[in-house]
């Protein structure tokens, strides 16, 4: 239901290349939901302080159910709970939810098992018709597998909802023709499936998902697919090739740029997996050492190498950002990097647990280490404090799409924000991510957040219309509850011009 609004007329002029059109009337919604009008069901992220001798020392372990075979990957917060998937490549795993406000004394809330759940490399969670759903990979046998869905609406009782087979699924190869990662935006779930390309799945009814398209034109070993508004970063699984793609028109994707990762001297370096944090694409270097490689996506038609660091004793897995720090699993250990100078990250700490240490996830002032093979019993996921005081800095949106001033955005377009840290999905709502048209009408739609990215999916955009976006201070928050500290505003148009911003 839309909030009651009063309208304040502002006379503004059109943005024009030469000459000027007559002044146009832009109406600004005067009343919208409060930016902080959101809440979570669970207790939220870490809020404890630590002594200096606790830093980078293990303080707790997170385990799955009795059938957990110690194969863990990414964990994350949703609705105030920590979500821990646990499953091997060959299937047979589950999901556990924990209270995590005291990260050194986590409390199990609920868990469940599925014989066909396969390992997950992303946390694609969405609200659909009042239900909280998590998309994961599945493995039935060597010739059958794909994706499946957990219903996490009741965190004490996760329920397996449905599954969908991907044509061409083939195992035992763990990369070539299996679901490697998922990304949820609106009624579309993007499934990266190696040489099978990117499947687009209609999840308007997650109990009966349907494949609606399969983009093999990306021409890479598709490992992940991150979407910010209409911009997608299609990245590889263990190779060099990467693409930026305009997917604003779902029937006509446009490749913006294709590049191969490497260093400033022009030497190519493959990566194991990629993520997006703020305006940066982050790649975990592999085979030629470890360490992060950093590219600026501010101009998605020309992604620019910013820098990186070689860690010769490492072999990269996954990399995540929290403000001025990067956290990377390096196979043999996990590293925390000072990212205050993105051109030259500096390793500042190293931690170790037994096993193939691929994932180090920052959550407030702790980092959660996970291994996907060879773990000590009960220690596939271990919590390490990394900062003395609780996180107190809110997220900053560094990249928006459409860009400010963009024109000819298709009416099928979406609006995206990429932050410098992981955000709490429940904090992304109509009051904290405001979109309205030139007549002052708030645009109805739905909100999604996955890791560092928040997306707004309009019910509809009108042709030849200007739209304005405001992300007010005090709204979108990180998983520790710290909200944005500064207001962000931008505008775009589905026509040839953008009305002058009403601020």
- Measured CA to CA, the distance from residue 290 to residue 392 in angstroms comes to 30
Q: Is the per-residue pLDDT at 11 higher than 60?
A: no
- The two three-digit tokens of residue 333, written as one number: 């250990």
pLDDT digits (tens, 9 = 90+) for 287-342: 999 999 999 999 999 999 999 999 999 999 999 999 999 999 999 999 999 999 99
- Measured CA to CA, the distance from residue 215 to residue 252 in angstroms comes to 10
pLDDT digits (tens, 9 = 90+) for 345-398: 999 999 999 999 999 999 999 999 999 999 999 999 999 999 999 999 999 999
- The two three-digit tokens of residue 288, written as one number: 């030629």
Q: Is the per-residue pLDDT at 13 higher than 70?
A: no
- The two three-digit tokens of residue 219, written as one number: 């021409």
CA 184 to chain centre: 9
Give the list of residues 6+ apart from residue 188 with CB closer than 8 angstroms, or none: 200, 201, 202, 203, 212, 250
Nearest CA among 473, 469, 441 for reference residue 455: 469
- The two three-digit tokens of residue 63, written as one number: 């385990």
Report how far apart, in Å, the C-alpha atoms of 95 and of each of 102, 137, 221, 376, 470 are: 20, 12, 27, 20, 36
Q: Is the per-residue pLDDT at 18 higher than 90?
A: no
- Measured CA to CA, the distance from residue 10 to residue 97 in angstroms comes to 49
pLDDT digits (tens, 9 = 90+) for 445-499: 999 999 999 999 999 999 999 999 999 999 999 999 999 999 999 999 999 999 8
The angle at the Cα of 312, spanning 265 to 234, to the nearest 5 degrees, equals 60
Q: What residue ranges do the domains of the chain occupy? A: 7-41+399-493
pLDDT digits (tens, 9 = 90+) for 78-98: 999 999 999 999 999 999 999
- Mean model confidence pLDDT for the chain: 93
Tell me what pLDDT residue 500 has: 77
Q: Is the per-residue pLDDT at 17 higher than 80?
A: no
Contact indicator for 178, 132 with CB cutoff of 8 Å: no
Tell me what pLDDT residue 438 has: 93
Contact indicator for 289, 310 with CB cutoff of 8 Å: yes
Tell me what pLDDT residue 30 has: 66
Give the list of residues 6+ apart from residue 299 with CB closer than 8 angstroms, or none: none
Say whether 427 sits in a helix, a strand or coil: helix
- List the CATH code of the domain at 7-41+399-493: 2.60.40.3710
| Arithmetic mean of pLDDT, 60-78 | 96
Report how far apart, in Å, the C-alpha atoms of 436 and of each of 6, 10, 406, 456 are: 13, 14, 16, 12
- Measured CA to CA, the distance from residue 220 to residue 160 in angstroms comes to 31
Q: Is the per-residue pLDDT at 4 higher than 70?
A: no
- Measured CA to CA, the distance from residue 158 to residue 333 in angstroms comes to 32
Report how far apart, in Å, the C-alpha atoms of 197 and of each of 132, 224, 462 are: 27, 10, 32
| Arithmetic mean of pLDDT, 270-296 | 97
pTM of this prediction?
0.93
The angle at the Cα of 163, spanning 117 to 40, to the nearest 5 degrees, equals 75
Q: With cut-offs at 50, 70 and 90, classify the pLDDT of residue 10.
A: very low
How far apart, in Å, do the first and last CA atoms of the chain sit? 26
Annotate 288-344 with three-state secondary structure.
Answer: CCECEEEEECCCCCCCEEEEECCECCCCCCCEEEECCEEEEECECCEEEEECCCCCC
Tell me what pLDDT residue 217 has: 76
Contact indicator for 152, 137 with CB cutoff of 8 Å: no
Say whether 466 sits in a helix, a strand or coil: strand
Tell me what pLDDT residue 25 has: 54
Annotate 21-33 with three-state secondary structure.
Answer: CCCEEEEEECCCC
């Amino acid at each position: 239901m839309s909030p009651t609004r009063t309208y304040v007329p502002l006379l503004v002029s059109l943005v024009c290349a030469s000459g000027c059109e007559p002044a146009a009337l832009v109406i600004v919604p005067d009343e919208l939901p409060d930016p902080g009008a959101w809440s979570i069901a669970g207790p939220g992220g870490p809020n404890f302080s630590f002594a200096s001798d606790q830093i980078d020392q293990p303080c707790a372990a997170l385990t799955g159910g009795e059938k957990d075979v110690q194969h863990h990957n990414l964990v994350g917060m949703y609705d105030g709970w920590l979500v821990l998937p646990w499953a091997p490549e060959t299937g047979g795993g589950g999901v556990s939810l924990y209270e995590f406000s005291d990260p050194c004394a986590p409390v199990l809330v609920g868990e469940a098992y599925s014989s066909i759940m396969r390992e997950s490399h992303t946390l694609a969670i969405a609200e659909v018709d009042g239900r909280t759903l998590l998309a994961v990979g599945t493995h039935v046998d060597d010739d059958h597998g794909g994706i499946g869905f957990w219903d996490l609406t009741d965190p004490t009782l996760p329920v397996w909802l449905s599954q969908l087979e991907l044509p061409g699924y083939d195992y035992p190869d763990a990369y070539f023709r299996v679901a490697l990662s998922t990304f949820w935006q609106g009624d579309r779930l993007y499934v990266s499936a190696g040489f099978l390309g990117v499947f687009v799945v209609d999840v308007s009814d997650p109990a009966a998902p349907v494949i609606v398209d399969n983009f093999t034109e990306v021409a890479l070993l598709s490992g992940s697919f991150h979407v910010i508004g209409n911009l997608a970063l299609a990245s590889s699984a263990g190779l060099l090739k990467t693409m930026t793609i305009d997917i604003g028109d779902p029937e006509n994707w446009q490749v913006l740029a294709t590049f191969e990762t490497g260093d400033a001297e022009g030497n190519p370096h493959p990566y194991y997996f990629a993520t997006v944090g703020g305006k940066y694409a982050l790649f975990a270097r592999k085979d030629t050492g470890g360490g992060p490689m950093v590219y600026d996506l501010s101009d998605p038609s020309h992604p620019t190498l910013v820098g990186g660091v070689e860690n010769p004793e490492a072999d990269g897995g996954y990399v995540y950002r929290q403000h001025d720090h990067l956290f990377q699993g390096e196979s043999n250990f996990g590293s925390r990097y000072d990212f205050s100078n993105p051109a030259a990250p500096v390793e500042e700490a190293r931690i170790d647990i037994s096993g193939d240490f691929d994932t180090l996830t920052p959550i407030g002032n702790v980092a959660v280490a996970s291994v996907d093979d060879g773990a000590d019993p009960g220690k596939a996921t271990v919590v390490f404090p990394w900062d003395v005081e609780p996180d107190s800095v809110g997220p900053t949106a560094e990249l928006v799409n459409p860009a400010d001033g963009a024109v000819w955005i298709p009416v099928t377009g979406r609006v995206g924000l990429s932050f410098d840290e992981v955000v709490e999905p429940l904090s992304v709502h109509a009051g904290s991510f405001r979109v309205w048209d030139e007549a002052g009408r708030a645009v109805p739609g739905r909100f999604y957040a996955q890791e560092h990215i928040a997306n707004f999916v309009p019910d509809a955009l009108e042709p030849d219309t200007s739209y304005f976006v405001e992300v007010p201070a005090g709204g979108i928050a990180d998983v520790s509850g710290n909200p944005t500290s500064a207001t962000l505003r931008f505008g775009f148009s589905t026509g040839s011009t953008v009305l002058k911003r009403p601020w």
